[in-house]
Structure 1
Amino acid sequence: MQPSNHPEAVVTPAELEQAAAIIRRGGIVAFPTETYYGLAVDPFNREALSRLFALKRRAPDKPILCLVPDREHLFSLADSIPPSYEPLMEAFWPGPLTLIFTAREEVPVSLTGYSGTVGVRLSSHPVAARLAQIYGGAITATSANFSGHPAAVNAAEVGAQLGPDVDYILDGGETPGGAGSTLVGVENEQLVLRRPGVITRQELNDVLGPERIIAGPEEGN
C-alpha cells in the first residue's frame, strides 16, 4: 500500500494523476466520497475486478457500484436511461444517489453480480469527481472494507482494515459516514427504493410526487 501523505489531507493533482495511472494498470485505489471511502478499479478489467472481490471477501453475486465523471460516460455502462430517472438525476446528481440501470452487453457480468444491471452515480465529492475525470471514464466505488464490516471513513481506517492489498490511498481527510448512497431501481415500470441512504425516500418523492417510489425489501414498509 502506498498512501498519499500530507498534513492537511489535501489531495494534489499529482496524486490524482498517480491514482488514475494505478487504476489503468489494474490496481486498486482507495479514495474519499461524500459518504465513505471507496475502492476504485477499472470496471472493464476482469482481473482487477477479481482482485477487488477477493480483497473485500465479497460474494460473487453481489454487484459493484460505479462512478462516472459525467452523464455522457454513463452510456459506457448503461444500456439506456429510464425516463423516470431524469428528474432524480436533475435534482440529485452529482450526489449520493445511485441509480440501477440495465447494463450494456460488454459490461463484465462479475461487475453486475450476474444480475444484468449496474448501479451508477455522479459523485459530489471533489476528490472522487476529479479522480473519475482524470481517469477519463467509469471507476468502481464499492466501500473500502471487508464485506459485512464497517466502512472506512478515513485513510487510516482503510489501511487498518485492508492493509497492503490496496495499492494507493488518496487521503482526502474524514468523510461523513453514517449512511451510504441511496439506491433506486425500476421494477415493472415502478421506481423502487432498493437501499435507504443519505437521500431519504421523502426527499425523492418531494421531487417526483407523492409515493412515486415504493419501499424495497431492504427498507420494509
Structure 2
Amino acid sequence: MQSLIKALNNGETVVYPTETLYALGCDGTNAEACDKVISIKARAADKPLPLIIGGVDMLGLVTNDRPAVLQQLASSFWPGPLSILVKALPSLPSALSDEQGYTSVRWSGHPFASELSKRMRKPVVATSANMSGRPPAALPEDLDPELLALAGAAYLDPPWPKGGKASTVIRVLEFNRLEVIREGAVSVKMLCDKGFSVSIARVE
C-alpha cells in the first residue's frame, strides 16, 4: 500500500485490483498524471477517465451533485461495480470529464482499492489495466508486462479481482429514471428490482 501511495503522491501511475478487474490509475486531481494514464494505454484523449472513491463521504471531492436518486443508488449498490455519471468539480483535470462536464465515479467494492482512495484522501483514476484494444486482466499473470513496466508501482497480491464484466455505467435522468451507458456487473434487472426506471443509451 505505501509504495502505491508514494507513487501516486509523486504523480506516477499505479496498477491495482478493483472488485471487477485490475485498474491502471493515478491521483485523480493531478492533470499530468491523468495524461500519463492516457499515454500508457494509448487511450483516446476524448474518452474520460473514470474515478473511484473510498466512501460516500468522499463524493464531495468529485462533485457538488446531491440528488436524492444518487443517495438511493449509493445505498443500494455501493460499495460495488456501479459507476454513476456526475457533474465534475471544475477544479478536477479535464481528462476526467466529457464535453458536458460529467465524470463517472463509484465507491469500489474491493478493500484495497477503497482503502487506497481513503488513505490518499483523494479520488483515484480507475481505468482497466490494459493497452487500448487488448483484453482487460483479472489475474496478475494476465497483465501486460509492457504496461506493468511503464507503471510506477503495482499491487498484485490477493484478494484478486473477481473478473467477469466491468462496472456498469449509468446516467441519472430525473426522479428515479436512469440511462444505462454500459451494462456490466450490475444488470438492468438489478436496477429495476430496486425500483428504478431504466432505459438503454443508444450507440451512435
1:19-168 paired onto structure 2 within 5 Å:
19-168=4-153
TM-score (norm 1): 0.85
Contact 1:32 1:154 in 2 (8 A): no
Contact 2:28 2:122 in 1 (8 A): no
Alignment partner of 1:203 out of 176, 190, 195 = 190
Which 4+ residue blocks in structure 1 deviate beyond 6 angstroms? Answer: none
Consecutive unaligned residues of structure 1, counting only runs of 5 or more, are 1-15
- Write the distance in 1 (CA, Å) between the matches of 2:111 and 2:24: 16
Contact 1:56 1:146 in 2 (8 A): yes
Counterpart amino acid of 2:180?
L
1:68-122 deviation per Cα after TM superposition (whole angstroms, max 9, x unaligned): 1122221111121222222211011000111100111111111114440010001
Cα shift at 1:159? 4.2
Greater Rg, structure 1 or structure 2? 1
SS of residue paired to 1:34? coil
The residue aligned with 1:178 is 164
- Write the distance in 2 (CA, Å) between the matches of 1:207 and 1:187: 16
- Write the distance in 1 (CA, Å) between the matches of 2:149 and 2:122: 26
SS of residue paired to 2:24? strand
TM-score (norm 2): 0.92
Contact 1:95 1:121 in 2 (8 A): yes
Counterpart amino acid of 1:103?
A
- Write the distance in 1 (CA, Å) between the matches of 2:115 and 2:82: 18
Contact 1:60 1:113 in 2 (8 A): no
- Write the distance in 2 (CA, Å) between the matches of 1:81 and 1:172: 36
Greater mean alpha carbon deviation, residues 117-126 or residues 128-137: 128-137
Contact 1:63 1:111 in 2 (8 A): yes
Give % identity. Answer: 29
Aligned residue-pair number: 202
Contact 1:26 1:42 in 2 (8 A): yes
Contact 1:17 1:134 in 2 (8 A): no
Consecutive unaligned residues of structure 2, counting only runs of 5 or more, are none
Cα shift at 1:36? 0.3
